[in-house]
Amino acid sequence: MDVLGVFPDKNNYHEFLNKCFFKAMDAKIVDKRFKDFAFVQYYWTKEQLDEVLLDFEGRFRLVSYKDVIVNMPQYSEYLEDQNLEKFARNFVLFMEKALDFALRFNFKQKYTDSEYVDMNKKLCELIYDEFIRETPTARIYSHHLVLEKY
């Protein structure tokens, strides 16, 4: 089983996106309530995983554990070719569907389809422009656990 860990870098894509969302709210690209929406992921520390494993003691046994840093494929490609524009475009493409879903889900029937499309387009443009200015890393720790059922 793989569990998302924390970010190894200060300038990571999660922090970067949060900054972009607040800029988009200030620019009135998206509603201020956007800050409350569910575009949230939970990242586990090793200590938190240890606590969960203790709760499962007697049902599962930890066979092996390894922490690895996992790069987003687009980031790995960028590290090789140093093509920032391509990395920014690919990152925005990766985010575009998630943003569309988040906007439609969190602002159900508040806007027309064309308004959703326009918001997402402007948000993606902002993310692209900010990405070129302040390129984040796109890597994360992954906790790789092998468990055995008792």
User: Which pLDDT score, from 0 to 100, does residue 42 have?
Assistant: 67
d(CA 20, CA 99): 12
User: Which pLDDT score, from 0 to 100, does residue 18 have?
Assistant: 87
Domain that holds residue 31: 2-149
User: Which pLDDT score, from 0 to 100, does residue 2 have?
Assistant: 84
User: Which pLDDT score, from 0 to 100, does residue 120 have?
Assistant: 93
d(CA 133, CA 119): 21
User: Which pLDDT score, from 0 to 100, does residue 82 have?
Assistant: 97
Count the domains in the chain. 1
User: Which are the contacts of 147, defined by CB distance < 8 A and separation ≥ 6?
Assistant: 1, 56, 60, 61, 62, 63
* 142 Ramachandran zone, left/alpha/beta (phi>0; psi -120 to 50): beta
* β-strand partners of 141: 69
Write the CATH number for 36: 1.10.1200
Closest CA to 107 of 118, 94, 95, 92: 118
* β-strand partners of 146: 64
Sheet of 60-71: strand order equals 2-4, 139-149, 60-71
Residue-by-residue pLDDT tens, the chain, 150 positions: 888 888 888 889 888 998 998 999 999 998 887 766 545 566 788 888 888 888 888 888 889 999 899 999 999 999 999 999 999 999 999 889 888 888 888 788 888 999 999 999 999 999 999 999 999 999 998 988 899 988
d(CA 12, CA 16): 6
d(CA 39, CA 28): 18
Closest CA to 100 of 130, 72, 125, 121: 121
User: Which pLDDT score, from 0 to 100, does residue 38 have?
Assistant: 43
User: Which pLDDT score, from 0 to 100, does residue 71 have?
Assistant: 94
